[in-house]
Amino acid sequence: MKLFHRKYGSGPPLIIAHGLYGSSDNWVTVARLLSSYFSVWLIDQRNHGNSPHSSEHNYGLLKNDLLEFMDEQNISSAVLIGHSMGGKTVMYFAKDNPERVSALIVVDILPTSYPAGSINAKEHQLIISSMMTLRLDMVSDRRDAEQKLMEYIRDRRTLRFLLKNLARSKDGRFSWKINLNAISDNMPELLTGFDLGKFDAMNNIMGFPVLFVRGSKSAYIPVESYPVIRRIFPFAEIVTISGAGHWLHAEQPDLFVKNLLYFLSIRE
């Protein structure tokens, strides 16, 4: 699948894969901060942003989309950054294509599955059902859409993030840029991850530097999960961004980038 992308700066290639409900647009601030050191490529993953829609949506396809993108752009290897769903994408990619990875940075997501009854799974089910329930033909403007969604989703930051997916045509009609049906149908797939039982001291993922970045207010990477991460990525570094939740790159962009540059051995 041919993915929409944006490019900033020059230098060694660095690719950022956004998370669920996101797009390349959410990462422009970070890309500009990194553009003095790298050629930063921001991709819209399938069913998101300006990339094509498909009824199929799983990590096997997402990692292949990334490989196709790198081949199209003649990128032999790159620093890969992935947030949430994008983090799973780059982890699966790195497992199968380690020679194409200069460094791997996973943002606020575990490599393993999230159980259907977990708080993270419930949050996604609430979000997707709320967005699908919203009657766009009854929405007068973005403020109206926000007010209607607040009946289900109370956090205003999350609401405004989700509403970046709302598009308005010239005739005034609203539509979702994200393929909600595909995301809803494939949600169980998106909550899956690596099978921990397949990893041990003789079978793990290494050969390039690995960093996991978590938000101190997020429940996606609890401290007790560190051994799980290091069973799969034995030499992974883990850092916490203080005062940030799941969308830590938007909440603390300067601190986030400072940690990335330190990890990549770039000293300002």
Q: Whole-prediction pTM value?
A: 0.95
Write down the pLDDT at residue 154.
87
List the pLDDT tens digit at each of the 268 positions of the chain. Answer: 999 999 999 999 999 999 999 999 999 999 999 999 999 999 999 999 999 999 999 999 999 999 999 999 999 999 999 999 999 999 999 999 999 999 999 999 999 999 888 888 888 999 999 999 999 999 999 899 999 999 999 888 889 899 999 999 888 889 999 999 999 999 999 999 999 999 987 789 999 999 999 999 999 999 999 999 999 999 999 999 999 999 999 999 999 999 999 999 874 4
Give, for 50, the enclosing helix (H) or strand (E). Answer: none
- Residue 149 DSSP SS3: helix
Write down the pLDDT at residue 105.
98
CA 125 centroid distance within chain = 17
Write b or e for each residue in 49-87: b if 16 or more Cβ atoms lie within 10 A of its Cβ, otherwise e.
bebeeeeebebebbbebbeebbeeeebebbbbbbbbbbb
Q: What is the rounded distance in angstroms from the CA atom of residue 193 to the CA atom of residue 109? A: 10
Domains of the chain, with CATH numbers? 5-113+192-263 (3.40.50.1820), 119-186 (no CATH)
Angstrom CA distances, 239 to 29, 40, 210, 214, stand at: 21, 22, 11, 6
Write down the pLDDT at residue 200.
85
Write down the pLDDT at residue 158.
87
Write down the pLDDT at residue 156.
86
Pick from 194, 18, 17: which is nearest to 110 by CA?
194
Interval 199-216: pLDDT, tens: 987 789 999 999 999 999
Q: What is the rounded distance in angstroms from the CA atom of residue 176 to the CA atom of residue 166? A: 5
Q: Which residue in this structure is represented by tokens 């289900």?
A: 152
**β-bridge partners, 83:** 107
Q: Which residue in this structure is represented by tokens 């799941």?
A: 246
CA 214 centroid distance within chain = 13
- How many other C-beta atoms can be found within 10 angstroms of the C-beta atom of residue 146? 17
